[in-house]
Amino acid sequence: MRFIKWFHEVPSGIRWVAARPNSFGVLEILQFQRLESGRLKSLSFNWTNFLTCRKLES
């Protein structure tokens, strides 16, 4: 499966997320990086959580 980087800036400091299209053609979030105490931290979670995070932090 082909992986892509999907760039998006959000207030939480997320720099990018790695995503891939799932079987329904929807981008599924695999990983994102955010600045925490001056360091980039990589975490993994899914599309629904990312949208929820964006909603809460926007």
The residue written with tokens 């629904």 in the block is 48
Ranges of each domain in the chain: 4-57
pLDDT (tens digit, 9 = 90+) per residue, 12-47?
A: 555 556 666 667 666 665 566 665 665 655 555 455
**Does the pLDDT at position 8 exceed 50?**
no
User: What pLDDT score does 56 carry?
Assistant: 46
For residue 10, the model assigns a pLDDT of: 44
**Contact residues for 7 (Cβ-Cβ < 8 A; gap 6+):** 15, 16
What pLDDT is attached to residue 57?
Answer: 45
What pTM, to 2 d.p., does this model score?
Answer: 0.26
Beta strand segments in 1-58, E: 4-7, 14-21, 27-36, 39-43
pLDDT of 58 over the 50 cut: no
Residue 5 CB partners (closer than 8 Å, separation 6+): 16, 17, 18, 19
